[in-house]
């Protein structure tokens, strides 16, 4: 190896290291800070440990406001699992139909779905709030669950995958054997499409778990809120007074709420990567 190429290799490594410090240092700060007492947050080196108070902090998070943090986690799980499961099933059926049947309005339907992928979600949140308040759905579980059940991006992914992976011959064989159209979908297509459906589920789960604007608009009742809205609510109750929430509690609560997603991302890496690739070759 020549000396210039060795030099350039070290240079590349140096640049990547600097970049990873930029991306990792804040997360490191969050982890370190969740182990500190409220007083220690304001003194000493922010990036290094002080008195170890992690277990005390976790205990305080789950005791704050009558233990509402449990409820928030459960609500987030309900919204994310329920919304993602329903939207994935619906998207699979719609994507399969758009890929495998010829009918009038097929292109128009697909183009509308594509256009909807490009609509900024928060722009829909305000009008949805207005409509839902008209039919008295505001401040109910449905206000967040219903919009979570529709995923145009899921239909897009499902259609691409069904088109590429479900062979027409398999469908014809099912028809010759006398299977109904729905049975063919449920027993043949769904099985072939399952890797793509995991991706759709994952993307929708993440989108719902991280959503903030829709639930904060729709839910004024603390007990219906997902964990994102709850934590921001605590963060806003700063300062002194009986309702003040100390910084260490907000920081530890934020760190805990990130665990489910990080675990999901790490354990299902190959699925979200395949989803990103499908998106980039559009």
Partner 1 sequence: MTTALHERAAGRTTAAGARRAGRRRRGRPVALFLAPFLVPFVALYAAPIGYTIYQSLFRMHRSGLGLTAPTQVFVGIANYATALGNADFRGSLLRVLLIGLVQVPLMLLLALGLALLLDAKSTLFKRFFRLAFFLPYALPGVVGAIMWSYLVAPGLSPITALGHQLGLHLDLTSNAMLAPTIGNMLTWGWTGYNMLIIYSALQAIPAELSEAATMDGCSAFGIAWRIKVPLVRPALVLTTVFSIIGTAQLYNEPTILHNVAPNLSSTYTPISAAYDAVNANNFNAAATESVILALLAFVLSFGFLKLVQRRGGAL
Sole binder of partner 1 in the list 238, 243, 244, 270 (CB under 8 A): 238
Sole binder of partner 1 in the list 2, 3, 103, 176 (CB under 8 A): 103
Sole binder of partner 1 in the list 138, 149, 171, 224 (CB under 8 A): 149
Q: Which two tokens stand for residue 114?
A: 């594509």
Q: Confirm or reject binding of residue 261 to partner 1 (CB under 8 A).
A: yes
From the CB of residue 101, how many other CB atoms can be counted at a distance below 10 Å?
Answer: 10
Sole binder of partner 1 in the list 116, 186, 188, 190 (CB under 8 A): 116
Can you tell me the distance from the alpha carbon of 87 to that of 204, in angstroms, rounded to the nearest whole number? 8
Sole binder of partner 1 in the list 107, 118, 136, 169 (CB under 8 A): 118
CB of 12 to partner 1, least distance (A): 5
CB of 126 to partner 1, least distance (A): 5
Can you tell me the distance from the alpha carbon of 81 to that of 83, in angstroms, rounded to the nearest whole number? 6
Give 186's DSSP letter: I
Q: Which two tokens stand for residue 58?
A: 């976790």
Give 187's DSSP letter: I
Q: Confirm or reject binding of residue 9 to partner 1 (CB under 8 A).
A: yes
Measured between alpha carbons, how far apart are the two ends of the chain, in Å? 40
Site for partner 1 in 51-80 (CB under 8 A): none
Q: Which stretch binds partner 1 (CB under 8 A): 56-64, 65-73, 97-105, 195-203?
A: 97-105
One-character DSSP codes across 269-280: HHHHHHHHHHHH
Q: Confirm or reject binding of residue 23 to partner 1 (CB under 8 A).
A: yes
Q: Confirm or reject binding of residue 280 to partner 1 (CB under 8 A).
A: yes
Give the residue from 208, 185, 181 showing the smallest Cα distance to 95.
185
Q: Which two tokens stand for residue 233?
A: 């609510």
Q: Confirm or reject binding of residue 190 to partner 1 (CB under 8 A).
A: no
Q: Which is nearer to partner 1, 131 or 164 (CB)?
A: 131
Q: Confirm or reject binding of residue 83 to partner 1 (CB under 8 A).
A: no
Q: Confirm or reject binding of residue 2 to partner 1 (CB under 8 A).
A: no
Q: In this structure, which long-range contacts are made by residues 101-110, counting pairs with CB atoms below 8 Å and at least 24 apart in sequence?
A: 110/159
């Amino acid at each position: 190896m020549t000396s210039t190429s060795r030099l350039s290799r070290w240079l590349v490594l140096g640049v990547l290291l600097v970049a990873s410090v930029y991306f990792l240092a804040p997360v490191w700060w969050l982890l370190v800070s969740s182990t500190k007492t409220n007083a220690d947050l304001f003194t000493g080196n922010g990036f290094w440990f002080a008195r170890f108070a992690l277990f005390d902090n976790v205990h305080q998070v789950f005791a704050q406001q009558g233990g509402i943090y449990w409820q928030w986690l459960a609500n987030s799980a309900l919204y994310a699992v329920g919304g993602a499961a329903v939207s994935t099933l619906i998207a699979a059926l719609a994507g399969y139909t758009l890929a495998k049947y010829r009918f009038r309005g097929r292109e128009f339907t697909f183009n509308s779905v594509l256009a909807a992928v490009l609509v900024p979600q928060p722009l829909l949140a305000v009008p949805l709030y207005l409509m839902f308040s008209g039919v008295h759905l505001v401040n109910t579980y449905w206000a967040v669950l219903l919009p979570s059940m529709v995923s145009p991006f899921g239909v897009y992914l499902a259609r691409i995958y069904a088109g590429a992976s479900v062979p027409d011959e398999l469908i014809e064989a099912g028809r010759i054997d006398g299977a109904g159209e729905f049975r063919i979908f449920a027993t043949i297509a769904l099985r072939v499409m399952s890797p793509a459906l995991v991706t759709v589920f994952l993307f929708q789960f993440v989108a719902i778990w991280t959503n903030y604007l829709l639930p904060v608009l729709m839910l004024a009742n603390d007990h219906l809120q997902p964990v994102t809205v709850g934590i921001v609510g605590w963060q806003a109750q700063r300062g002194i007074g009986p309702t003040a929430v100390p910084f260490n509690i907000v920081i530890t609560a934020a760190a805990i709420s990130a665990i489910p997603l990080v675990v999901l991302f790490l354990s299902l890496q190959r699925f979200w990567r395949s989803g990103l690739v499908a998106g980039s070759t559009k």
